Amino acid sequence: MAVTYELIKRCSKTGARAGRLYTPHGVFDTPIFMPVGTQATVKAMSPDELKAMGAGIILSNTYHLYLRPGHDLVAEAGGLHKFMQWDRGILTDSGGFQVFSLGPLRKITEDGVTFRSHIDGSKHFLSPEKATEVQMALGSDIIMAFDECVPFPADHEYARESTERTTRWAERCREAHTRNDQALFGIVQGGMYKDLRAMSAKDLVSLDFPGYAIGGLSVGEPKTLMYEMLEHTVPLLPENKPRYLMGVGTPDCLVEGVMRGIDMFDCVFPTRVARNGTVMTTHGRLVVKNAEFARDFRPIDPECGCYACKNFSRAYIRHLLKTEEIFGLRLTTTHNLHFLLNFMREMRNSILEDRFLAFQEEFWAHYRK
Ligand SMILES: [Zn+2]
């Protein structure tokens, strides 16, 4: 088995749980946040820096790597781990999300999706088999089934047809997948419809994947609706397999997701906003680029132990961002990733000590929405 999950501790009051994932590239503790490295790099960070902040697994995007530099080239380089010099875990998405986001540039059939590259307009075809082949060439530890992320809002009929197709595609991915050092996760869809979420979960669980993602959430719906969908879906998934909530990575959603039994998260948000001068703290977001911080000589977050917070002031970081110095966005990225990884570790400790509910209450007492 490529990837195995060990459930270590269940919270006695909520659905939260602490576990461990064993992969061919190391072991990591869950719940975990996975930094996103779209183009085989977590923007502005070196692999050593990511390791120093305790990142156990990162996410990379199949669509982008398929177009540039091409999965054949990555395979020739010895696989994605070797190509980017990252010897810990890698999860790749299937490319479905990006391809479906192309709007008028793509056409869906039962067979797969024809699309035009956002880079040069060239024509390509991605199918369950192709997405699996590309991810096998990349050599990531966890690969995802090719799915359609049901847009929000979507009517019931469209959501049902799409969700049923996603299940048929998941079966085809399983057929096409031959690398036993990789785990292929199924993705539960179903839009914002409880009956479709239940159908999707049941059908995918019968296909017996080594892990399950919940997709199609955090796509513009109110957060309360996302939590409702999680509450409805997570209990339908097997307890002895990891559960991954796709595209979610703000502190409030991480706490609420963990509370409902999620083990893995990823999101471009923390690194993307960092480059625009927004940082995350236990008290909420701070736009460090704002004029109010021009003479603020305190660290970004006095409670944070990251390299940026231990050494530099808000005023200095603001100055770097205003003058478009590369070091500025390296510092904000360092802080945001360190902050989230540490936040997950603290949350995990609270589960191990069975005080997660108190952790959650303490978090909400300080966090400004
Ligand atoms: Zn910091």
Q: What is the pLDDT of residues 185-227, one digit of tens each?
A: 999 999 999 999 999 999 999 999 999 999 999 999 999 999 9
Amino acid at 36: V
The predicted pLDDT at position 283 comes to 87
The predicted pLDDT at position 178 comes to 98
How many CB atoms sit inside 10 A of residue 369's CB?
Answer: 7
Q: How far apart are CA 153 and CA 319, in angstroms?
A: 41
pLDDT exceeds cutoff 70 at 369 = no
CB 213 within 8 Å of CB 188: yes
Phi, psi of 28 (to 5 degrees): -140, 150
**124 DSSP 8-state letter:** E
pLDDT exceeds cutoff 90 at 368 = no
- The residue assigned the tokens 């706490």 is 255
Is the Cα dihedral 192, 198, 202, 205 positive or negative? positive
**Is 93 marked active-site?**
yes
CA of 337 to the centre of ligand 1 (A): 9
The predicted pLDDT at position 101 comes to 87
pLDDT exceeds cutoff 90 at 127 = yes
CB 256 within 8 Å of CB 222: no
Of 29, 93, 141, 263, catalytic: 93
The vertex-190 CA angle with 188 and 195, nearest 5°, equals: 110
Give the list of residues 6+ apart from residue 164 with CB closer than 8 angstroms, or none: 199
Q: What's the average model confidence in pLDDT over 22-43?
A: 97
- Give the chain's mean pLDDT: 96
The predicted pLDDT at position 1 comes to 60
Please state the residue numbers annotated as binding site: 93-97, 147, 189, 216, 304, 306, 309, 335
0.95 exceeded by pTM:
yes
The predicted pLDDT at position 2 comes to 78
Q: What's the average model confidence in pLDDT over 173-194?
A: 98
- The residue assigned the tokens 């010897």 is 87
Q: Pick from 106, 210, 205: which is nearest to 151 by CA?
A: 106
**Is 266 marked active-site?**
yes
pLDDT exceeds cutoff 90 at 103 = no
CA of 273 to the centre of ligand 1 (A): 15
Please state the residue numbers annotated as binding site for substrate: 93-97, 147, 189, 216
Is the Cα dihedral 96, 99, 104, 106 positive or negative? negative
The predicted pLDDT at position 167 comes to 98
The vertex-286 CA angle with 280 and 288, nearest 5°, equals: 115
Token pair for residue 108? 């869906």
Q: What's the average model confidence in pLDDT over 161-189?
A: 98
Q: How far apart are CA 232 and CA 338, in angstroms?
A: 31
